[in-house]
Amino acid sequence: MSMSRKEFLRTTGKGLVAAGAMAAAGSGSGYAAGSRPFSNGGFKVDYKYKRLTLKHAWTIARNTSTYKDNVFVRLEKDGIVGLGEAAHNVRYGETLESTYETIEKAKPLFEITSPWHFVDLGEKLQKVCEGQTAAKAALDMALMDWIGKALEIPYYRLLGLDAKKAPQTTFSIGIDTPEVIRQKVREAEPYPLLKIKLGKDNDKEIMEAVRAETDKTLRVDANEGWKDKEECLREIEWLAENGVDVVEQPMPVEMLEETAWVRERSPIPVIADESVKQASDIPKLAQAFDGINIKVDKAGGLQEALRMIWMARSLDMKIMLGCMVSSSLSITAAAHLSPLVDYPDLDGHLLISNDPFQGVEVRDGWLILPDRSGLGCLGEF
Ligand code: MG
């Protein structure tokens, strides 16, 4: 006599719990996690932008900015609030307006779907947010914050991670005049590792200014700034001799073959940033790069960032965990993944002067995660 899956589950001790939970999640009776009962249905969704002011004008090879208008998302259900942040990136065709539009399009999905089906929700969200990863990241971040808060555990614990295992983070120094670079390096005294932005025509000048102030280990991000493979290699060799241990996105995205040529000869690991957004981008980069820079913002959330981590690991690639200029909310979200990476670069909140949130702390470069539920951030927007 054959038995249906449901009947089978009911006849086993373990199955009784599973079948009960399945019935509760799928029927009209709601779902209970721990001692707390939860209603069916989705979230109340709110969002608005807040202007984050930069301490110093921020210049990289591509552009300069003095502020960032990030969009903050609030998901509320059963008295629990999940928060997320969208830092749009013009490099990927995102604007404040497109971020608003995308969240507005995704809103109905969040209003009707149960948060407990967060994997399913993430898949559906992917279709709505095509190409708009900052908005998607904010929604996914808020969702994961809510799940952690509902289960009353920190997000890193939900992932089975040891918060103490995160390596030290770098602190970034944007492109500037030698005088300002020297001042920035002095201000960065508490951080043992610095990431230097290069890729314009003053690389030597910047490196000299940095080295006049410190002998710390440096990492360099060229933001696609070097366009000739032989010059690029000479530059990397010179940087390696000057205490640089990693170089990020030396050449433009479209120069993949040239980058592979450089990587083969480079004395230090070459990491992809602009070349990689999501997990599906990774396999084709494994020849040209030693590793990838994952950002929750460009990945489109914590769930996709995790997928990227596992995929990169399976290809034996190194992982940098980067960020945009953003508040402690976004940086803390990323920091929950930091025990899984080689090179955390989570300093975006340290570059602003009006952080509305309090979350991960950086002490001597070590990331100290809050042990509160969810992402563990305090503050509102
Ligand atoms: Mg970069």
For 186-220, how does the pLDDT look when each residue is reduced to its tens digit (9 = 90+)?
A: 999 999 999 999 999 999 999 999 999 999 999 99
The answer to whether residues 352 and 87 touch, using CB atoms and an 8 Å cutoff, is no
The answer to whether residues 379 and 356 touch, using CB atoms and an 8 Å cutoff, is yes
- So what's the pLDDT on residue 59? 83
- So what's the pLDDT on residue 344? 97
pLDDT cut 70: percent of the chain above it: 91
CA of 46 to the centre of ligand 1 (A): 31
Phi, psi of 221 (to 5 degrees): -120, 115
- So what's the pLDDT on residue 3? 55
- Two structure tokens written together for 272: 């992809």
- So what's the pLDDT on residue 20? 37
CA of 289 to the centre of ligand 1 (A): 14
CA of 316 to the centre of ligand 1 (A): 20
Sketch out the chain's domains with CATH numbers.
7-29+44-157 (3.30.390.10), 161-368 (3.20.20.120)
CA of 334 to the centre of ligand 1 (A): 15
- So what's the pLDDT on residue 23? 38
**pLDDT of 177 above 50:** yes
**pLDDT of 38 above 90:** no
Mean pLDDT over 157-176 rounds to 94
Where residue 26 falls among pLDDT bands split at 50, 70, 90?
Answer: very low
Beta bridge partners of 68: 52
CA of 247 to the centre of ligand 1 (A): 9
- So what's the pLDDT on residue 32? 56
CA of 174 to the centre of ligand 1 (A): 11
CA of 37 to the centre of ligand 1 (A): 44
Please state, rounded to an integer, the average pLDDT across all residues of the chain: 91
Sign of the C-alpha dihedral computed for residues 121, 125, 127 and 131 taken in this order? negative
For 50-81, write each residue's pLDDT tens digit: 999 999 888 877 788 899 999 999 999 999 99
CA of 149 to the centre of ligand 1 (A): 32
CA of 228 to the centre of ligand 1 (A): 19
pLDDT cut 90: percent of the chain above it: 83
- So what's the pLDDT on residue 7? 56
